[in-house]
Amino acid sequence: MRIHWTWALSLPLWIACQNPEAEAEALIEAMQSDTSDLADATMQDTSGWRETYAVFEAAAESVESDSLWARYRLIAGDVQSQVPGGALFAIQTYLEVADSLRQRKEGALALFSVAVTFDEKLGDRSRAVQALSMLMDRYPGTQMAETARSYRDVLLFENDESLLDKIHSWQTNEEPQEP
């Protein structure tokens, strides 16, 4: 029974190694099924990040579809952002997607990823706001632009509660208008 189980698990991996796209999809599935603490924003063991990154890069180079290319490049950027010191490389990867797919939703997602990386990994809120503003300018009237506007407001006004507090203080400090 144990031999059959091992063979059953190794067959998909062997098949995946023959095809970069299949290998990337198998890796994505393995990453999704990992039940370890996903709340931690930085990988604890970064020893295999280069191999993981190489899998997604090879898959991106092997596909003809722009959507799949963007999927694998964005995930490669996510892998880079999880490695200490890799945030700027991740931002570069995201910007390549954003610049290559300006008219597609993947480009908007890439710009959003740039903003999140600047904010969460580098603590650079001003550049995060710039990336969000770029997203809103490139994709006006979209759901991503609205999400970017909300995130930008949170970054500019610290958090939702402080924004509400400021609005409340403005309202209470204003003199009533005389008719």
Spell out, as residue ranges, where the chain has pLDDT lower than 70: 1-18, 35-46, 158-168, 170-171, 173-179
Over residues 119-163, the pLDDT tens digits come to 999 999 999 999 999 999 999 999 999 999 999 998 988 655 665
Closest by CA to 120, choosing from 78, 61, 58, 173, is: 78
Rounded Cα distance, 98 and 46, in Å:
26
The architecture (CATH level 2) of 48-168 comes to Alpha Horseshoe (1.25)
In sign, the C-alpha dihedral spanning 12, 26, 33, 83 is positive
Task: Let me know: does 128 contact 113? Beta carbons within 8 Å.
Answer: no
